[in-house]
Amino acid sequence: MKSEYDIIVVGAGPAGSTAARYAAQKGASVLLLEKDRDVGYPVRCGEAVSHEGVAQFIEPDPKWIAGTITKMKFISPSNTSVTMPIDSNIGYVLERRIFDYELAKIAATNGAEVVTKAYVYDLIKNENGEAVGVKALIKDEKVEIKCKVVIAADGVESRVGKWAGIDTTCHIRDMESCAQVTVSGLNFEEDTLDLYFGKKVSPGGYLWVFPKGKTSANIGVGVTVEEAKKKSAILYLNEFLEKNYPNASILTRIAGGVPCAKPNKVLVKNRVMLVGDAGHQVNPISGGGIISGMIGGMLAAEVAADSIKNQNLKQLSEYETKFHSRLGWRHEVFASIKNAIWGISDETFDSLTLSTLELPMEKRTLAAIFRKALWNKPSMVLEVAKVFLK
Amino acid sequence: MATPHLMIHIVPDKCDFCGCCVGVCPEDAIELKESEIAIIEERCTNCKKCVWACPWDVIEFHRDGINTLPKKLFAIDENQFSKSLSK
Ligand SMILES: Cc1cc2nc3c(=O)[nH]c(=O)nc-3n(C[C@H](O)[C@H](O)[C@H](O)COP(=O)(O)OP(=O)(O)OC[C@H]3O[C@@H](n4cnc5c(N)ncnc54)[C@H](O)[C@@H]3O)c2cc1C
Ligand code: SF4
Ligand code: SF4
């Protein structure tokens, strides 16, 4: 390890490893610091991604694909289910332990230096309050390492942005408090993602059964912290498991949080750039953040490397505009939709599901379901109009 | 404002180190390492957001302050532990 780099990336999740990869590819010297002993472990994720999303970064490889998905099944509060093909035709349930590892390997192959058991606990700042390095505990030894730009990819627990003066606190209504188990020894429809909705199952979120092949699955639940005040995620999960899979063998049990908010308006300040969960780069409706974090990581890294090359760090703020026009605007619309359907009753959900069942399978796209829903429940038109007029 | 009495207690050994509490803490008052977690007393305002956020329900709120809690290194009661071993 050197005492100075162009770019230090904090956190080796998908966003951080992708940032390190693209920054190194553009010729910057890059150090990637990860607090945990292993990259990729523990896995706090349902692990579902679309083929298109992942293939733009890496050739799909059976060694990190646990299952291939072609359908989604929505299960309504009254237990009516509707199955539809997924929009992009095919998706995967990953083996993130190996996937994340692979992404870090690619970063290293491109020239980034990766160090694990490296906990960043503060920034080094210059007289203008700009970050010019990080303070870290590496294998329990205090070290200071200098750099020109810090990329904060430190996940839902992000603190680096706060140290640079960016407000990254997630509102409790937007934070999904999650519990998940990975179970084995049962039978699952290996090509179908199951999503359960309703106030009893997962208020302000959903419960998922994502199959990892025929006999294993990630079963998890996310509830908004606003609701988790009254009853924690783990209790919702335990009830579901007792009712539906009482004999499951549980191989892994994790807690987690997903910031299902609008992406942070400020993504760059004082030479710190936020990527991934750290910048709330998550689809606020689905809670998917693997691909959007990787997109954020790539865009930030390219801008950072160019700014350093041009010796003009004012250019760093271009990343905010780039992220917004690529993805941020969509997440803002999704966040508004989420807020509009926030109070949707279990009855409305049931009637939506029933009306979708009248559509033939091949016509069940999200757009068609939306149209159908509007037809059956005109008051929703108003809600949606409000969303788009904002 | 941070209050003189810390009322927040993360039960040792039960935490999964997932960071959900850190993400909602408005005061940057939680330090989270690979398998260590601590509340930074000088910053905490006892707002309870972390208590609500914890998916595993392992953060306790004690109105009278946590200094009244018995100090234990492990969640297991050592007496209980040795009793069950000597059985
Ligand atoms: C239960 C659950 C289910 C989910 N399901 C899905 C899904 O099915 N599909 C999907 O697309 N997304 C899903 N998500 C969201 C997805 O997991 C995240 O959006 C994604 O992991 C974000 O990537 P990241 O690189 O930003 O952060 P992370 O993957 O969280 O990586 C951050 C890294 O930074 C490290 N770090 C943190 N602080 C420091 C520090 N101070 N110093 C050094 N290192 C540090 C952490 O150890 C960690 O390795 C789910 C999330 C949860 C919790
Ligand atoms: S939310 Fe709960 S389980 Fe997660 S790190 Fe905080 S105290 Fe631990
Ligand atoms: S009580 Fe509030 S201020 Fe204190 S640690 Fe929890 S969230 Fe942070």
CB proximity list for A9: less than 8 A, separation 6 or greater = A16, A19, A20, A23, A30, A31, A32, A33, A112, A150, A151, A153
Asked if residue B85 has pLDDT above 70, the reply is no
**pLDDT confidence of residue A385:** 47
Q: Are A107 and A114 in contact (CB under 8 A)?
A: yes
Q: Which domains can be identified in chain A, with CATH numbers?
A: 7-45+96-170+262-329 (3.50.50.60), 62-93+172-259 (3.30.9.10), 337-389 (no CATH)
Residue B4 CB burial class (10 angstroms; 0-12, 13-18, ≥19): exposed
**pLDDT confidence of residue A81:** 87
> Mean pLDDT across the stretch A358-386?
59
Asked if residue A65 has pLDDT above 90, the reply is yes
Does B22 contact A157 at a Cβ distance shorter than 8 Å? yes
Radius of gyration of chain A (CA): 21
Chain A contacts of B53, Cβ < 8 Å?
Answer: 172, 175, 177, 225, 228, 257
Which of the two residues, B73 and A196, has the higher pLDDT score?
A196
Mean of per-residue pLDDT scores for chain A: 91
Asked if residue A377 has pLDDT above 70, the reply is no
Cα B54 to ligand 2 centre (Å): 5
Q: Note the ligand closest to the C-alpha atom of B56.
A: 2
Q: Answer yes or no: is the C-beta of B6 below 6 A from any ligand 3 atom.
A: no
Output the 3-class SS for A102-125: HHHHHHHHCCCEEECCEEEEEEEE
B53 touches chain A (CB under 8 A): yes
> Mean pLDDT across the stretch A13-32?
98
Distance in Å, alpha carbon of B63 to nearest chain A alpha carbon? 17
**pLDDT confidence of residue A380:** 53
B66 touches chain A (CB under 8 A): no
Asked if residue B75 has pLDDT above 60, the reply is no
What confidence category does residue A77 fall into, taking pLDDT thresholds of 50, 70 and 90?
A: confident
Q: Which domains can be identified in chain B, with CATH numbers?
A: 8-85 (3.30.70.20)
Does A228 contact B52 at a Cβ distance shorter than 8 Å? yes
Distance in Å, alpha carbon of B86 to nearest chain A alpha carbon? 31
Q: pLDDT > 90: what percent of chain A?
A: 78
Cα B43 to ligand 3 centre (Å): 8
Q: Are A102 and A54 in contact (CB under 8 A)?
A: no
Distance in Å, alpha carbon of A95 to nearest chain B alpha carbon? 19
| Cα dihedral A18→A24→A27→A33 (10° resolution) | 120
The minimum-distance atom of ligand 1 relative to the CA of A254 is: 1
What's the pLDDT tens digit per position in A79-122? Answer: 888 888 876 679 999 999 999 999 999 999 999 999 999 999 99
- pTM assigned to the model: 0.92
- Please choose, from the candidates B55, B62, B56, the residue with its C-alpha nearest in 3D space to the C-alpha of residue B39: B62
Separation in Å, CA A304 to CA A28, A32, A320:
9, 15, 12
**pLDDT confidence of residue A387:** 43
Q: Is beta strand B30-32 parallel, antiparallel or unpaired with respect to B37-39?
A: antiparallel
**pLDDT confidence of residue A353:** 72
Q: Are A263 and A333 in contact (CB under 8 A)?
A: no
